[in-house]
Structure 1
């Protein structure tokens, strides 16, 4: 029950609707050690849900690189993100992680907006 209450609180606080991006295979890497973190499940211009094999902890800060799809002809983008929540996914040893974007360049933000527009037009 508490999980449902937490989810509704997250949904109410979210300012932008998230767009499903799981099928795009957007890989996310830790900039510090260049190790893979996982895949983008969904995203908006303010945050994303990461699908990962690592349990991450609320209030943690990540420096990430998100590989953009080749069809957009955009380079990878660097993002600073804050972990808002982490919950076990439906698959063993997999987690869903809610991230708030706290640092991104103007170029990176434009690339995300371009991706969101593409996904919205093709969903």
Structure 2
């Protein structure tokens, strides 16, 4: 079993938040959990480890005035489900605006 070396608790959200590649507009999957420094995605196709992604998260309109959150991440690891139909990806947030951090905190406080 892999040691859990996280310093911050990731928060599972009780809302479906789609995640898109901001460069290609490809749907990557759904947000599984998040904290101020990282997130985990669940997707149909695996992400690439050690690759940088610019992500666009589709936010619930009732949550914030903006409908999207854009941030950059480094994909640290990818793990397939037992039947390999779904893929988990753990990502470290490497670039996010101050407003984006405020949106992440709002997501955590209102949707968990």
* TM-score, normalisation: structure 1: 0.83
Shift of 1:70: 1.9
8 Å CA contact 1:58–1:86 kept in 2: the answer is: yes
* The structure with more helix, counted as a fraction of residues: 1
Q: Which residue of 2 aligns with 1:46?
A: 37
Q: Which residue of 2 aligns with 1:66?
A: 57
After superposition, the Cα gap between the structure-2 partners of 1:74 and 1:48, relative to the gap in structure 1 and judged at 3 Å, is: farther
Mapping 1:1-123, distance limit 5 Å: 4-5=1-2, 8=3, 11-12=4-5, 14-21=6-13, 23-75=14-66, 76-90=68-82, 92-120=84-112
Cα RMSD between the aligned structures?
Answer: 1.4
8 Å CA contact 1:19–1:119 kept in 2: the answer is: no
* The structure with more strand, counted as a fraction of residues: 2
Unpaired segments of 5 or more residues in structure 2?
Answer: none
The one-character-per-residue Cα deviations of 1:6-57 (angstroms, maximum 9, x if unpaired) are xx1xx22x12101112x41100000111110000011111111100112122
Shift of 1:92: 4.0
Unpaired segments of 5 or more residues in structure 1?
Answer: none
Does the residue aligned with 1:24 lie in a helix, a strand or coil? coil
* TM-score, normalisation: structure 2: 0.90
Aligned partners of 2:65 and 2:37: how far apart in 1?
19
After superposition, the Cα gap between the structure-2 partners of 1:45 and 1:33, relative to the gap in structure 1 and judged at 3 Å, is: same
